[in-house]
Amino acid sequence: MPDREIINVAELHGDGISAELSESVHTVAATLPLNVQFHPGDLTLESRRSDPDSCYDNAVAAINKHRIAMKYPTVTEVESPNKVLRERCNFSVIHRPVATLPGVETRHQGNLDVHIIRIAVGGTYEDAGRRIGDDVAVSIRVIERRPAREAALYGFRLAERLGCDVISSSKYTIQRATDGFFEEIVRGVSKEFDDVGHTSELFDALLYKMLKKPEDYRVVVTPNEYGDFLSDMACGMVGSIGLGASANYSFDDKGDVALAMFDPAGGTAPDIARQGICNPAAALLAFSMLLTHCGFRGLGTLVDEAVRGCIADGDSTGDLGGSLNTAQFTEAVCKRVHAG
């Protein structure tokens, strides 16, 4: 029997349910016709309190060495580990796919299947702001050409593969300098893609229209904070932020992905940590994105469909109305992967 192809993955451990999510990912990875080698890194709060420089240095070195990473939820105390890694690895784009899952109760009747492409830097998140006297506070809003172009280029390439249009969204009629600059950059990129349509929508209108008719949206490109807001709203529309997975990308000078980090969107859930009842679905969906990024699109789709199929059939964890614990849900996913 030929040796299985090897994938080397930097694995960045965090807090709360992190260890349980990692165990679930390892279990599913072991069922695949691949040799997935996980190289652990420590980003736990305890280690960051003790020696933050070494924690981040080691994590960044592992990401640069293997060029692919899985990251699990981390507590934000003094700083956000996600923000630190984005800055040090030049992660400029976040890709959050959000799709309606049969079997998950929602308060929304539409069918959502959207890819949110968010500039990971700048916007109003670039500057914490400052107080001026007792009655005024100000902050700087930043839009930079390179990350905006990288987000737009990634979005158009994705839309080209999906056979759909791109919608860029901001408040360009109000934030004329910054958001207007963002829209100008996106329009410039659109000229490189003759077969992909492009329209701009004001962000507040987009929120309303997506709630009314979500089927109209497939690829949306936004500045930083707008993408943050939209991602959480979209997860709310499909019933749970615990179903959200993300990819963070940095790019070379040609606009190709240089480094990639994948993570579940949810938090550390300390109230249920070490009880074996957390929902690993988002971590497994993030792992499926990793597989697709590595060129194993069929296996990525297989894992993605196995997770969604389990949930659709009611084989889910308690947070989604099911009765399975973490290990039982993971095993149910593994059985579907085997069957596929």
Structural domain boundaries in the chain = 1-93+259-340, 106-238
All residues at 6 or more sequence positions from 63 whose CB lies less than 8 Å from its CB, including other chains: 10, 69, 85, 89, 259, 261
* Confidence band of 39 (pLDDT split at 50, 70, 90): very high
Average pLDDT over residues 294-302: 95
Query: Does the pLDDT at position 220 exceed 80?
Result: yes
Query: What is the CATH class of 1-93+259-340?
Result: alpha beta
Query: Does the pLDDT at position 3 exceed 80?
Result: no
Query: Does the pLDDT at position 254 exceed 90?
Result: no
Percentage with pLDDT > 70 across the chain: 99
Identify the DSSP state of 3.
Answer: P
Query: Which amino acid is residue 262, in one-letter code?
Result: F
* Confidence band of 265 (pLDDT split at 50, 70, 90): confident
Q: Confirm or reject CATH 3.40.718.10 for domain 106-238, answering yes or no.
A: yes
Q: Tell me if domain 1-93+259-340 and domain 106-238 are identical in fold.
A: yes
Query: Does the pLDDT at position 1 exceed 60?
Result: no
- Nearest-angstrom CA–CA distance, 260 and 249: 5
* Confidence band of 2 (pLDDT split at 50, 70, 90): low
Question: In the chain, which ranges are continuous DSSP H helix?
Answer: 18-29, 45-50, 52-66, 81-89, 145-162, 178-190, 203-212, 224-238, 281-293, 297-312, 326-339
